[in-house]
Structure 1
Amino acid sequence: AREVFGQLADKAKASAIKLVHLEQFDDAQRLDKLNTFIAAHPDYAPAYFLLAQEFSEDRLGSQSLSDKRSEAEALTKFVSYEKDGGLLKYFVDQRELADWLERSRSRLAAVGDVLDPQRFAPTLTPMRSNAGWTITISLPEAATGISWRLGETGPFTDTGLMAMNDQRTGKPMPNSSFELPDSTTATTIGIKYLDIRGRETGPFAIRFDPDSALQQGDKQILDQFWTSWIAFDAGGNNGLVYFTQMLSYRCAIKEVHYGLDGAAPDKEIKMPPCDKKDPYAIPYDYQPYFKVADSVKSMSVQVTYTDGTKSPVREYKRQ
């Protein structure tokens, strides 16, 4: 069939015959010939629908983001010719045209906003410890390799592979984190990765501000574990209210106010300054508790964070 259509394509002037001929080739050849055809006939609309099929889930089985973007770009181009009946001249059977348009719109709806470059970019989650920073990388798709660099120039460092396979790729899962020293200053972190087909994606430049990251991380922990902000009579120390957890994550705190037995939280707990070099340590000369009367039954607490937001007024009952 390929030879027959090849002979027809050599003799015929109709672009449709040439398009049918190139569809007879195997995958890699077919895509190359299709791109060559489009370069020579950039306004031949049906070619874009066929190009989209080369990157489709039906054709590939599993799609990378790059595949989805290529599919969406080609389908968007094809559908754009529908305006003012621009596709009618290519189809004898209008039912076939309706089918192509329906399939195109269905796939464009399925891939969503995949063409938005900001929607599918890697993100970083910094986590501070006394030893430094652990930076966890979140990717928008499965990857077979990840690398990073500090700053906007210089070589990238591979994160390495883990001792387990990723079921999505069938290959060893790349390590999704790396370490930075606590002395790291505000900078840009570059991230790039290899997708499921081994194609490099990126680099992406992501801003890293250690001060902001420390505050945001501490705030997240405080919000999530607010039930541990204070503890009445902890460890059998009757008459004492401990606020050790708030103290440990004080780098996110601007002010703490409290009230007793239903009173408005208008009394302040003075916190020591944030120690960026050792942020979770409690100063040796600071007492993480204060005394209350045995008659006190409850306590309300409100935190004002360094970003200016305030927590809800939290209520704590004495047991």
Structure 2
Amino acid sequence: MFRSFSRLCLTAIWGLGLTSASIASEKQGFTAERSDVIPPLEIFKTMADDLQPQGWITFQTLDGKQIVNFAPIMSLRCRLKEIKYSIDSKDLDKSFPIPDCDPEYPFRVEAQSIHQPYIMEFPGGTVQALAVQLTWDDGSTSKIAYYEPCRAVGAAPCAYPLGSNE
């Protein structure tokens, strides 16, 4: 856990440095395209590895509906090409749309709302397990992660990891 926290702190510090550099260049009159603001792919892969045990997705129950939320990995979208997933199988037969990246704020995720494109709704108790694999912008893929709803899941978002494969 300490390792994950220290990586997160390093990522945040790196991001603050970029923000400071961006502000400084704007004050000096530079108006060049800021595509260099998006951190290197390795930072995103490290963050994905650190998030994987806690859940790339979450389940919750609201008003008798089962909500599957991809928000935990949406902070990685600036380097994601595709999110493959499957419900109650290991087929990875579905693909999830990646919201546009904002290079000025590469890790920002919009406020949670049931209407966000990274939230899916099912009749209560429908999804028993979900498999997820990330495809990065360089074409490489993550290991496949498997999750099931936490026992007695309620309104609090939760996912129980079933493991992963290489």
The alignment's TM-score, normalised by the length of structure 2, stands at 0.62
The answer to whether the 8 Å contact 2:84/2:92 transfers is yes
Query: How many residues are aligned here?
Result: 128
For 2:48 and 2:103, how far apart are their aligned partners in 1? 17
Equivalent position of 1:181 in the other structure: 21
SS in 2 for 1:295: coil
Following superposition, the deviation at residue 271 of structure 1 comes to 1.3
Higher relative contact order by CA 8 Å / sep ≥ 6: 1 or 2?
2
CA RMSD of aligned residues (A): 3.3
Pair 1:275–1:267, CA change in 2 (3 A): same
Equivalent position of 1:307 in the other structure: 138
For 1:304 and 1:231, how far apart are their aligned partners in 2? 19
SS in 1 for 2:105: coil
Equivalent position of 2:81 in the other structure: 254
Which residue, 51, 74, 81 being the options, matches 1:225? 51
What are the equivalent positions in structure 2 for 1:51-200 lying under 5 Å apart? 127=11, 132-134=15-17, 180-182=20-22
For 1:312 and 1:265, how far apart are their aligned partners in 2? 12
Deviations 1:31-56 (A, max 9, x none): xxxxxxxxxxxxxxxxxxxxxxxxxx
For 1:234 and 1:182, how far apart are their aligned partners in 2? 41
For 1:250 and 1:258, how far apart are their aligned partners in 2? 15
SS in 2 for 1:290: strand
For 1:234 and 1:298, how far apart are their aligned partners in 2? 15
For 2:76 and 2:37, how far apart are their aligned partners in 1? 13
Which residue, 275, 291, 297 being the options, matches 2:121? 291
The alignment's TM-score, normalised by the length of structure 1, stands at 0.34
What are the equivalent positions in structure 2 for 1:6-45 lying under 5 Å apart? none
Q: Which consecutive aligned stretches of 4+ in structure 1 deviate over 6 angstroms post-superposition?
A: 234-237
Following superposition, the deviation at residue 218 of structure 1 comes to 2.0
Pair 1:292–1:134, CA change in 2 (3 A): same
The answer to whether the 8 Å contact 1:255/1:305 transfers is yes
The answer to whether the 8 Å contact 1:127/1:134 transfers is no
The answer to whether the 8 Å contact 2:38/2:106 transfers is no
Pair 1:184–1:132, CA change in 2 (3 A): farther
Gap runs ≥5 in structure 1: 1-125, 136-178, 186-208
Deviations 1:230-260 (A, max 9, x none): 0111678741101111112211211001001
Larger Rg: 1
The answer to whether the 8 Å contact 2:84/2:133 transfers is yes
Pair 1:309–1:276, CA change in 2 (3 A): same
Please tell me the residue identity of whatever aligns with 1:127: T
For 2:144 and 2:126, how far apart are their aligned partners in 1? 22
The answer to whether the 8 Å contact 1:214/1:251 transfers is no
Following superposition, the deviation at residue 278 of structure 1 comes to 1.4
